[in-house]
Structure 1
Amino acid sequence: MSTTFTIPSRCDLCPRRCGADRAAGRAGYCGAAGTLKVARAALHFWEEPCISGTRGSGTVFFSGCALRCCYCQNYPISAQAFGKEITVERLAEIFLDLQAQGAHNINLVTPGQWQPWIMAALDQARAAGLHLPIVCNTGGYETVESVARWAGYIDIWLADLKYISPALAADLSAAPDYPAAAKAAIEAMLAQAGRPVFDGEGILQRGVILRHLAIPGHTDDSFRVLDQMAAWNDAAPGCFLPSLMSQFTPFYQAADHGIGRRITTYEYRRVVNYAMDKGLTTGYMQQKSSAREEYTPSFDLTGV
């Protein structure tokens, strides 16, 4: 089965709206050009328990990223273009293979720059029997239009809210518009997905998980992020699951931006206590032991 889809000739898939002619093979700001590129596809056991469960999340890591996070743990694929070019047909096969391995869901990591290709692959895979929930694992830097196009394809949004400060977003992710873009996109995700729905095993079938990675030296901005999360939760209690992460590891260019260390127990505990004081008590909080490099997968084209 072959599927036709439109490759952007003036790309506006992300908030950068860089206008790259990807149909002509030109790469956008994200590093993605006209041929789908994937770095890894395998069962992943280190997401939130309601995503990984007991059998693992069928995770596909896509090459490229619209952000430029100086501390990215996946920087070989996000910033250095590591990956293998594959067809839409091959991606559909990968989805079905992960389902056959027993995955609880299909987990698309940083998929936004490949949206038309992935939708075509999901159409093919569903026609061939794919029935798992689809997770969009995103840094939160999305357009409202892109979120709307995912309707009918994405069941679960696993989204970051990284910063509230435009200056911090500019410094650490080269995206001063991140706070405004992420707020609008997340509100669209919440409206689209609805309240969390679980199956009999406690595995999430539909809904939103909002993640925040606590960054060393920037707990004040974490408090502001939690203020925003609390505002959403106060307006519609239980509309998402919060997930506070302590796993910051000074990868890539973190030291060049003044964050060349792990977060301290004291810093993370302040963030956790603030979240609980704000009523964000039904969700996930990591142990400090999560800030270890072995939790980062090896990008070796597994499963591709």
Structure 2
Amino acid sequence: MEKVDKLYKYLSPCTLCPRNCKSLRDKGEVGFCKVTDKPMVSSFGPHFGEEPVLVGFGGSGTIFFTGCNLECVFCQNYQISHLMEGEYITVSELSDIMIYLEEKGCHNINLVSPTHQIPQVFSAVEEAKRKGLKIPIVYNCGGYENIKVLRELQGLVDIYMPDVKTFNHEFSKKYLKAPDYPEIVKETLLEMKRQVGHLKVNEYGLAEKGLMIRHLVMPGWIEDSKEILRWIAENLGKETYVNVMEQYFPFYKACDYPEICRKTTEEEFNKVYSYAKKLGLRLAV
């Protein structure tokens, strides 16, 4: 519990993420993420749409946390992240959800967008472990992390799965409302790799520990995608597990920006995917 106690020190005034909004969340104040000091959950259950190494035959035990520390204008989960669909629960109730997912046969606990709720979430993880939880913990995030907080998670997270959105400042300022995202996400990736190393799978092809990176190819941003993949190969190693994704669709406010108000073309995706193969990266299948 010592690690969890340290995490709560970042909660109020809040410095959990790079925005450092310093809201007094234990007093009911909310900052950028719009969440107080209690766990806020939208939904949970076995998920079969994740990477095969997470899904297996029993599914990935996903828990979708309400709110977010990014303002992606193209967010596909905007009802949860920005419109705040969900409800407050207790830490004990959250730990019971984790136990329930394990009992349902899920291969892991997949924490979706946990960054702004880290103390609450990992307090529940520790309680669930005391109740017998044994499956891996997946930290599924947008990559916009406070490096000091991230270091405190060493030993608490088995699998890091950041969604690397961009290395371009124009992109991050315009579409994420986070001008410093490129520098932050690079530091985040290096720290995650230091903690858990390259992805390890067991004899059943299921992820047990390590780093998994997602990258969504955006319309008109092929060169940005190539830069991200090149940096990964050079700085994290070609053994890095990367899922290059093609399912972009202009959700939420994307069509306020005409240049991204369309799907990524097959040609755009193929150019990026071919480049990733040329680099020799370990690509998701």
Fold in common (TM above 0.5): yes
SS of the residue corresponding to residue 243 of structure 1 reads strand
Tell me the distance in 2 between the aligned counterparts of 1:216 and 1:195.
29
In structure 2, the residue matched to 1:230 is 233
Aligned to 1:299: none
The structural deviation recorded for 1:237 is 4.0
Which residue of the partner structure matches residue 157 of structure 2?
154
Taking the aligned partners of 1:61 and 1:49, their CA distance within structure 2 comes to 19
Q: Structure 1: state its 5+ residue gaps.
A: 286-304
Q: Which amino acid aligns with 1:252?
A: Y
Could you tell me which amino acid in structure 1 is paired with residue 267 of structure 2?
Y
Match of 2:17 in 1: 14
Structure 2 Cα separation of the partners of residues 195 and 164 of structure 1:
22
2:174 corresponds to which of 167, 171, 174:
171
Stretch deviating more after TM superposition (218-227 or 263-272) = 218-227
Which amino acid letter does the alignment assign opposite residue 270 of structure 1? K
| Structure 2 residue corresponding to 1:72, chosen from 71, 75, 79 | 75
Contact 2:37 2:120 (C-alpha < 8 Å) held by counterparts: no
In the alignment, does 2:251 pair up with 1:248? no
- Report if the CA contact (8 A) 1:171-1:257 is conserved: no
Q: Which amino acid aligns with 2:265?
A: T
Post-superposition shift, 1:35? Answer: 2.2
CA–CA separation in structure 1 for the residues paired with 2:69 and 2:157: 19
Of 110, 123, 133 in structure 2, the residue corresponding to residue 130 of structure 1 is: 133
Maintained 8 Å contact 1:44/1:56: yes
Letter in 2 for 1:262: K
In the superposition, the TM-score normalised over structure 1's length comes to: 0.89
In the alignment, what sits opposite 1:288?
A: none
SS of structure 2 residue aligned to 1:34: coil
- 2:254 is the alignment partner of 1:265: no
**Is the 1:98–1:106 contact (alpha carbons within 8 Å) kept by the matching residues of 2?**
yes
CA offsets per residue over residues 166-195 of structure 1, 9 Å max, x none?
111111101110000000011000000012
What is the CA distance between 1:226 and its match in structure 2? Answer: 1.3
How many residue pairs are counted as aligned between the two chains?
278
Residue 297 of structure 1 is matched in structure 2 by none
Give runs of ≥4 in structure 1 deviating > 4 Å. none
For residue 60 of structure 1, what is the amino acid of its counterpart? Answer: I
Between the aligned partners of 1:242 and 1:211, the Cα distance in structure 2 is 6
Q: Give the gaps of 5 or more residues in structure 2.
A: none
Q: C-alpha separation between the residues in 2 aligned to 1:12 and 1:226?
A: 30
Q: Kindly provide the amino acid, as one letter, of the partner of residue 54 in structure 1.
A: F
CA contact (8 A) 2:230 2:279 kept: yes
